Amino acid sequence: MDEEEDMAIPVKNGFHLKEDYVGEHLKNYDSILVLSHFKGHAMAGFGGALKNISIGIGSSRGKTWIHTAGKNQNPNELFGNLPEQDDFLESMADACDAVINYIGKENMLYINVANNLSVDCDCDSNPHKPEMADLGIFASTDPVALDQACYDAVVNAKDEGKKALIERMDSRHGIHTVEAANKLGLGSREYEIVNI
């Protein structure tokens, strides 16, 4: 989406960001299907719908803006400006607020595929091999409930391989992105699983 330019879209009531930077081509979309591989992540703890809305839709400048909690837009200076972990996680929620309000809640659908559950993201050049069996495919119109349900499914799984993933998620306080998105009114942490 940022093949040519990026653009700023407003964050309504963010923790740290007043705007988010996304690819300019976002303006060509009137709906979005967010398809995510739910798994661990070195910085965010885990990646699911909320991470894909924020980091996935962010332009290069936007990704830096989120990772630095609104302190820097230069990707070459990203790692010299990292904020407190919760500030980063809250900034991901801020970016979600911008994208969801820009497209409209009613125009977004989310699917998390919880298979090959590694502690590392697919973006890692040398990811750790998955230690946990597949949990299934989760879908919702609520990204907060969806990520909460996937997190809970890992925690409540009988699979012994879950220990490494839980440690990764919790050591990075990954659930805080879900908490922050809930506080911003982007969805509910309460859900009902309907098997189909």
Does residue 188 lie within any of the structural domains? Answer: no
pLDDT greater at residue 124 or residue 103: 103
Give me 109's structure tokens.
């659908």
Q: How far apart are the first and last CA of the chain?
A: 33
Note the pLDDT tens digit of each residue in 110-157.
999 999 898 877 676 677 787 898 999 999 999 999 999 999 999 999
Q: Is the pLDDT of residue 78 over 90?
A: no
Does residue 123 lie within any of the structural domains? Answer: yes
pLDDT of residue 125: 66
Give me 95's structure tokens.
């970016």
> What is the arithmetic mean of pLDDT over 41-51?
94
Q: What is the DSSP letter of 73?
A: -
Domain count, the chain: 1
Work out whether strand 39-41 and strand 45-47 pair parallel, antiparallel, or are unpaired: antiparallel
Residue 7 — pLDDT band, cuts 50, 70, 90? very high
Does residue 46 lie within any of the structural domains? Answer: yes
Does residue 192 lie within any of the structural domains? Answer: no
Range of 152's domain?
A: 6-183
User: The whole model's pTM is what?
Assistant: 0.95
Work out whether strand 32-37 and strand 108-114 pair parallel, antiparallel, or are unpaired: parallel
The answer to whether the CB of 11 falls within 8 A of the CB of 62 is no
What length is written for the chain?
A: 196
As a whole-number percent, the residues of the chain with pLDDT over 90 amount to 82
**SS3 track for 86-97:** HHHHHHHHHHHH
Q: Is the pLDDT of residue 172 over 70?
A: yes
| Axis crossing angle, helix 60-67 with helix 85-103, rounded to the nearest 10 | 140
Q: Is the pLDDT of residue 166 over 90?
A: yes
- Mean pLDDT score of the chain, rounded to an integer? 94
